[in-house]
Structure 1
Amino acid sequence: MNERALYIDDGDILTSAGTAASIDLRRHFTRYLGTTPSAYRRTYQGAFRE
């Protein structure tokens, strides 16, 4: 266990804890995919709806 890690990226699952957890995960998501979570949802929200 890495006590200094801001988040844990285990492939399909990301986890984080603490007061700034959502900020850390959002920054990781943006760096990893090159887009914000909001833009990602807008792009793909219709692909999974019936």
Structure 2
Amino acid sequence: MNEPEVLPTEWYDMSQNRDQAGRARLVCDYIAGMTDRFAIEEHRKLFNLELWNG
């Protein structure tokens, strides 16, 4: 919600010009569409967890 720029370009574009409730719905829809594997990989990218997998 606070960093819409980390969304993929298409989703980021859709997040613009929305009120807080509209942006929240968009973020929920994005997360709901993730598979487990995709969600785990996205989390790794965002939080740079490769550092912990030594």
* Higher share in strand: 1
Do both proteins adopt the same fold according to a TM-score greater than 0.5, normalized to the shorter chain?
no
Higher relative contact order, structure no. (Cα contacts within 8 Å, ≥ 6 residues apart): 2
With normalisation by structure 2, the TM-score equals 0.35
* Higher share in helix: 2
With normalisation by structure 1, the TM-score equals 0.36
